[in-house]
Amino acid sequence: MAFSQIQGKMQIMRILIANDDGIYAAGIKAIAAEFSKKHQVMVVAPDHERSGASHSINLTSPLRIHKTELSGFDNIEAYRVNGTPVDCVIVGCNALNFKPDAIITGVNHGYNLGMDIHYSGTVSAAKEGALMGIPSMAVSMCNLTSKDFSVPARVAAELFDGFIASGSLLYNVNVPDLAYGELKGIKFTGLSKRTYYSPFEKRVDPRGCEYYWWPMRTEYDGDMKADNDERWTAEGFVSVTPILTDFTDYAALKRLNIRNRLRRGRYQHGKRGFAHTDKPALQFFQQGAEAACQLHNRQLRQGGVHYRIEDGPHCRRKRIYGCPLCICFGL
């Protein structure tokens, strides 16, 4: 898919730009310059590099905001803050009262693939925007040493016009370190799984004091044929991943609620085995615990007693040691 195919026509918008590499980073200058061509832009960034700050905020010391005149920003209003990337978003939206229509973070110096999003200050700053209900996009370049960020900035601007009206509040974008014409297109992907495996390195400073350094090396823990950001960026595609800020495991929550309803049931003397008045719980019981049900029934029949699950005042319980049904339902 060509980038031009997903571009839309957008009105002039107020865009807040932040990062975790700091106000002096080349990546934020490139993306601010690109977005300022069509939109009203304000830059608020840390006064020094805050990579790996994740979603931390400053609660124990005052934040100091300084208007910044830097080459590369031209007429763009820019501020540096002695805080985290998330602090910068909060400062821009509240202390500086900018009220953005959208938030763009980056361009990050290095990729933010898979589990990186949990540690990245760049992604977390965009996440803060999403938590405020503001459409946000985190942009990263898959190279730690590159000096030219014009390509990811251009790609982000083109993606922005197409995605701002999509309804999703948070996107994570990773752009390979390739010339614009060499990019193969866009892939909408899930997150990969990356393992942080490097041990801490123990060193000694010139004064003889020990200190430790974490190289933080990662490796991809998965199949390179999987449909995720790691695979497609390695193949020369821009990866775009929509991200939710709600971490609730709804599938597990549903299972737990059903089990809880079953657990509140009672084993009562009967002649026709198991029955339950709660239909969703009964469906789970019949489908998800069929093997356990058969084993429990068999063990009960061996004792010459039949039970059924039923809510009522006259209930009898019978726990069979080792029975998976008894264990599952907490009998």
pLDDT over 60 (residue 167): yes
Residues 46 and 190 occupy one common structural domain: yes
% of the chain exceeding 70 in pLDDT: 73
**pLDDT recorded at residue 217:** 73
> Do 210 and 297 belong together in one domain?
no
Check whether residue 86 and residue 186 sit in a common domain.
yes
Q: Residues 183-200: pLDDT tens digits?
A: 999 999 999 988 777 778
Plot region of 272 (φ>0 → left; ψ -120 to 50 → alpha; else → beta): alpha
| The residue type at 244 | L
Whether residue 110 is found in the same domain as residue 236: yes
Give the model confidence (pLDDT) of 110-119 as tens digits: 999 998 999 9
Q: What is the pLDDT of residue 296?
A: 53
The residues facing 212 across adjacent strands are: 202
Spell out a b/e string for 54-80, using b for 16 or more CB atoms within 10 Å of the CB, else e. Answer: bbeeeeeeeeebeebeeeebeebbbbb
Mention every residue, 6+ apart, whose C-beta is less than 8 A from residue 301.
none
Q: Quick one: 294 and 229 in the same domain? A: no
pLDDT of 330 higher than 70: no
| 63 and 169, same domain (yes or no) | yes
> Residues 173, 148: one domain?
yes
- 20 and 169 fall within a common domain: yes
> What's residue 281's pLDDT?
52
**Angstrom distance (rounded) from CA 1 to CA 69:** 39
Residue 213 has pLDDT above 60, yes or no: yes
Number of domain units in the chain:
2
Q: Which of 66-75, 224-233, 307-316 has the highest mean pLDDT?
A: 224-233
- 265 shares a domain with 133: no
What is the span of the domain harbouring residue 93? 3-242
**Alpha helix (H) residue ranges in 47-91:** 85-90
pLDDT tens string 95-144: 998 999 999 999 999 999 998 999 999 999 999 999 999 999 999 998 87
Please give the Cα distance from 4 to 12 (Å, whole number): 19
- Is this structure's pTM higher than 0.85? no
Q: Are both 207 and 299 inside the same structural domain?
A: no
For residues 226 and 155, which has the higher predicted lDDT (pLDDT)? 155
